[in-house]
Amino acid sequence: MTSVLKELTLDLEKTERLDKVLTATLGISRSTIQSWLKAGLVSVNGEVVKSNYKAQNGDVVTILQKEEEAITIQPEDIPLDIVFEDDSLIVVNKPSGMVVHPSKGHYSGTLVNALLYHSNSLSDSTSEEIYRPGLVHRIDKDTSGLLVIAKNNDVHQKLAQQISENKMNREYIAIVDGHFAHETGVIDAPLSRHQTNRLKRVVEKGGKNAVTHFEVLDAFSDYSLVSCRLETGRTHQIRAHMEFIKHPIVNDPLYHPKGKHATEFGQFLHARTLSFTHPVTGEALNFHVEPPKEFEDFIQLHKGRFSE
């Protein structure tokens, strides 16, 4: 069974392919849109259509989702570390251990539950057939740091476009195994889903383009503190890329299961810097939050010094 995920009336100046229109309107990937169309989940004026359908002004588009994917999201009074907020967007510092959005096995206690309680104005753009109010991008449960949240669909679309055009600067820091031969580098290695472990991503020819820039900030004991800047934003990109170059992130249970230390803290990965252009005012915004104290504790434990 299916239920209606989203319905919208198109406002177009000219005829365009439906997949291109929905990608631009909803602020989600074209591959996701095409998967919906291939699965017969998209109809126009009551008729199921293909991705090459020529959309026209006034067309009513209905997007369905499978019933088992529909999750009712309840607002929950969960404290948020809000770095910035105005009428258009929110910048939040997510703690390690918090799931970003509800899914099977995680129906409450997520960032989205907290956001719905905090604000009654969030975008309703969708991604991967699942309703995720406000979320322009995501970070993993055990990754801490900065996320930008959209309060309406126009802002969502413009922020998503900045990401797709590599105009949003997203910088992370991580503690990884080993020392580097070079202080800076670029990892240009396509990523695909692992054939047997569907949770993992692996470097594979023919995968999705993935580029990570790194800089070594400090080295201590058997570890390094590195800055990683995303040029693309694939699932698990930094985690998979660090594993690929033989410097897996400390405490990463998926990509470095043998590197677990005696701490309850998750992988040492933190979204430290987020810079973008305000989609309404045009102002250049730059946000920076230092990592949780567990980073400093780990470095001090291993006789290192945290470098700014």
User: Does the domain spanning 169-301 belong to CATH 3.30.70.260?
Assistant: no
pLDDT for res 197:
84
Residue 103 is which amino acid? S
Tokens of 4: 């209606």
pLDDT of 246 > 90? The answer is yes
Q: How far apart are CA 212 and CA 204, in angstroms?
A: 15
Instruction: Report domain 2-69's class.
Output: alpha beta
Place of tokens 């995720």: 132
pLDDT for res 198:
77
Q: Which of 40-44, 74-78, 196-200, 211-215 has the lowest mean pLDDT?
A: 196-200
Count other Cβ atoms within 10 Å, centred on residue 52. Answer: 10
Banded pLDDT at 308 (limits 50, 70, 90): very low
Place of tokens 């400390």: 250
Residues of the chain with CATH 3.30.2350.10: 82-164, 169-301
CA-based nearest residue to 253, from 193, 195, 197:
197
59, 140, 142, 177: the active-site residue: 140
**Rounded average pLDDT over 181-189:** 97
pLDDT for res 276:
98
Burial of 239 per CB tally in 10 Å (0-12, 13-18, 19+): buried
Supply the mean pLDDT for the chain. 89
pLDDT for res 302:
86
pLDDT for res 130:
59
Residues of the chain with CATH 3.10.290.10: 2-69
pTM over 0.75: yes
User: Does the domain spanning 82-164 belong to CATH 3.40.50.10790?
Assistant: no
Indicate the angle between helix axes 153-164 and 18-26, nearest 10 degrees.
110
Q: Is 140 a catalytic residue?
A: yes
Banded pLDDT at 262 (limits 50, 70, 90): low
pLDDT for res 108:
87
